[in-house]
Chains A and B, each alone.
Chain A
Amino acid sequence: MNKRKIYNFFSNKVFLFTLISILAGLIIGAVILLFAGFNPLRAYAIIISGVLGRFKYISYTIIKATPLILTGLSITFAFRTGLFNIGAEGQFIIGAITATAVGYFLHLPAIIHIPVVIISATIAAGLWGGIAGFLKAKFGVHEVISTIMLNWIALYFQNYLVYMDGFQKPGGETSYSIQPTASIKLFGEWKLSDAGFAWFNSNPFLRDLFKTPVNFGFLFAIVAAVIVWYILKHTTLGYKLRAVGFNKNAAEYGGINVSKSMIISMTIAGGLAGLAGAVQVMGVTHNVSLLAAMEGFGFDGIAVALIGNCTAIGSVFAGLLFGALKYGGTKIQPAMGAPSEIINIVIGTIVFFIAIPRMISLLIKRFSKKDRL
């Protein structure tokens, strides 16, 4: 029975198309590398061994993927309700600042502190996202404009807060770091203490693995993905939201409160992106710093959502793929001197092919005709 199931899974059309798109992205990337005088096979080999070669690399890939999975989920959620959340970037920022502030100013035992930080960051970012939903529902302001504007406002807001006395680390361009009780890093402090150091040194494998900021963030991302999947698939709320996304007018006719659905959807989407910001702060950076430009977590999240076909499970895998490409891609520069921009071209091509399933099915038709000959 399992065989059958696995076969069905792989023969799923969407999954197949996604695989073909990824392949197409890699091929186009290879062609461009070839034109530029680099050996594409070597480049990809470096990426693959740079991602899977050691446990440490896998760990980094997961750490890199975690916030992207969450912003991907945020965009997925809004998409399902027919809303385009370009604002994940700003919601991420709001989540990150809130997490830093709550993590630094409050002094609580870890068991309470961690949930308090997560919940407050999620709520703050949810409200931030909710603004766009509210403006759309009440004033008909297109969410694309409002979220773009909110992104910039959030960016300057973060810079404003980082300068505040009592929050800014003196003589730096970052805020104070969160209290250790708010950290979700595994052995964060202990790792650097003498005892921890000695212990890790006696075990090269663990030492290697725990050099990375291993943290619980990925678990949060998985839990969030399951919740998103559950809400969308198995609750009346999810049904209503999807109905609005599918056909606004029909949903309204069917008695669904469209305005409320939009606000709820954007709030949840904002919360998810905020969770991404919180997880990044609690697990990796421990503080927020002055931003000279957008960091791109939200924008990359759009690509993640799209590669994941706007499903919760898809976002997890797409986030991992994205994290792997981004992390592995940095390794081709030092190893062979090829510009790492190639990764953006590969990602762009993958997304492009994902946009055109019809072309892929056309290709498949040809392919299968030859099959019969």
Chain B
Amino acid sequence: MIDNVALILGTTLMYSTPLIFTAMGGVISENSGVINIGLEGMMVIGAFTGATIGYFTGNPWIAFIGAGFAGAIFGLLHAIACVSFGANQVVSGIAINFLGPGLALFLSRIFFDGATMTLSINLDNKMPRPLSGVFSQDSFMYYFLGNRYATVYIALILVFLLWYVLYKTKLGLRIRAVGEHPTAADTLGIDVYKIRYLSVIFSGVFAGFGGAALSLAIVSNFRPTLVSGHGFIALAAMIFGKWKPQGALLACLLFGGAQGITVFLGQYDFKVSSQILSMIPYVLTMVILVGFVGRASAPAADGIPYDKEQKY
């Protein structure tokens, strides 16, 4: 029994990791006042770039950073639209959700001889598993952490770092100030544009990492259906977590945990059909939202373009 718990926890971590990265992307962007619906598209381009660079260089770290870089380019695009040109942020995000997959598939066909699926990276060239072989086979810790990739720990560290930056540093204070009261922040001498650019670009970086966590750790290749919906789940988790890194983390873990339980229950022959079981994670999320979390409010200036000339 205890093994099963360990396995469910392990599955939870595995499933949540890409979501955590991406949700952090949402957190940083929206705290600075820019809505980012484009997380899904940024994740796709990250997953593709990660798998491609990983395949050609054989180095997972270069691939991972490359994925972040690809995400950053889309982040920059979003920032140019939303910060410099006062775009409707939702609209720009939706555009990115079309552009990301479109470009990823287009490039894939060019790099991989017409294929929309990249070639598989072998185990040694994937992300390392730091605790592989540390625990004895069949122990609790083996099932819990033995097979987890470095991306899991990086995601957790990222959450902590982001929390620290947002709430314990001057920069974080500025980001939040820009997200709540850009006008006031401006009068205090904070460069609203610069802060927003920075936040949105990093948002792309994190979402790109999220995609790479799928294509470099959970599996070892990219295919067009790999991301299918994870970005939107991460977006939901970010809102669920009330726009806070720690809250989003919990929401992602909850979702991953529900998937773990679904897989666990699926091995038994129930009267309940597997389609109903598959609904569990989604229903559970809604129930918890209604019952325990309650009202969520975004940063005050979230979604509102800031225009220096139109102050007051």
Contact = CB atoms under 8 A, between A and B. Distances in A.
> Are any A and B Cβ atoms less than 8 Å apart in their complex?
yes
Interface string B87-113: 111111011111111110110011000
29 contacts: A32-B106, A135-B286, A139-B289, A139-B294, A141-B286, A141-B290, A141-B293, A142-B239, A145-B236, A145-B289, A146-B286, A148-B235, A149-B286, A156-B275, A157-B275, A160-B273, A160-B276, A303-B98, A306-B90, A339-B109, A341-B106, A347-B102, A348-B100, A349-B99, A350-B95, A351-B98, A352-B96, A355-B82, A355-B91
Interface string A345-359: 101111110111011
Interface core residue of A135, A146, A157 (most chain B CB under 10 Å): A146
Given A157-B279, A352-B77, A306 B94 contact: yes
Contacts of A293: 225, 228
A306 B96 CA distance: 13
B285 A348 contact: no
Interface of A: 32, 36, 84, 86, 135, 139-142, 144-146, 148-150, 152-153, 156-157, 159-160, 163, 293-294, 299, 302-303, 306, 339, 341-345, 347-352, 354-356, 358-359
Contacts of A294: 228-229
B81 interface: yes
Nearest to B276: A160
Given A142-B239, A149-B282, A345 B290 contact: no
B283 interface: yes
- Interface residues of A: mostly helix, strand, loop or mixed? helix
Q: Which 7 A-B pairs have the closest CB atoms?
A: A348-B98, A140-B295, A344-B102, A348-B99, A352-B95, A355-B91, A351-B95
A229 B286 CA distance: 33
B240 interface: yes
Contact of B87 (A135, A146, A342, A356): A356
Given A141-B286, A306-B91, A345 B279 contact: no
Contact of B101 (A152, A342, A344, A352): A344
Contact of A152 (B82, B279, B289): B279
A253 B235 CA distance: 31
Question: Which of A148, A299, A354: most chain B Cβ within 10 A?
Answer: A148
A342 B110 CA distance: 13
Interface residues of B, number: 50
B235 A144 contact: yes
A139 B235 contact: no
A101 B63 CA distance: 49
B282 A358 contact: no
Contact of B105 (A159, A163, A299, A341): A341
Nearest to B293: A141
B233 interface: yes
B106 A355 contact: no
A21 B62 CA distance: 36
A345 B100 CA distance: 8
Contact of A355 (B92, B105, B286): B92
B85 interface: yes
Nearest to A343: B102
Given A140-B295, A352-B77, A145 B240 contact: yes
Contacts of A141: 286, 289-290, 293, 296
B95 A349 contact: yes
Contacts of B110: 36
A27 to B, nearest CB: 15
A145 B233 CA distance: 8
Nearest to A145: B236
A350 to B, nearest CB: 8
A246 B105 CA distance: 39
Nearest to B285: A149
B173 to A, nearest CB: 25
Nearest to A359: B85
Given A339-B109, A344-B102, A144 B294 contact: no
B306 to A, nearest CB: 12
B86 interface: yes
Contacts of A347: 98, 102
A31 B189 CA distance: 41
A86 B93 CA distance: 13
A146 B278 CA distance: 17
B279 A156 contact: yes
B61 interface: no
B276 A156 contact: yes
A36 B92 contact: no
Contacts of A163: 273, 275
Nearest to A36: B110
Contacts of B97: 299, 348
B87 to A, nearest CB: 4
A296 B88 CA distance: 22
B232 interface: yes
Contacts of B85: 356, 358-359
A141 B297 CA distance: 10
B105 A358 contact: no
Contacts of B99: 344-345, 348-349, 352
Contact of A344 (B86, B98, B109): B98
Given A145-B239, A157-B275, A352-B81, A86 B232 contact: yes
B294 A140 contact: yes
Contacts of A355: 81-82, 87-89, 91-92, 95
Interface in B276-312: 276, 278-279, 281-283, 285-286, 289-290, 293-296
Nearest to B86: A358
A54 B105 CA distance: 31
Given A345-B99, A351-B91, 6 more contacts: A140-B296, A148-B232, A345-B106, A347-B102, A356-B81, A359-B81
Nearest to A147: B236
Given A348-B96, A352-B92, A144 B225 contact: no
Interface in B112-163: none
A144 to B, nearest CB: 6
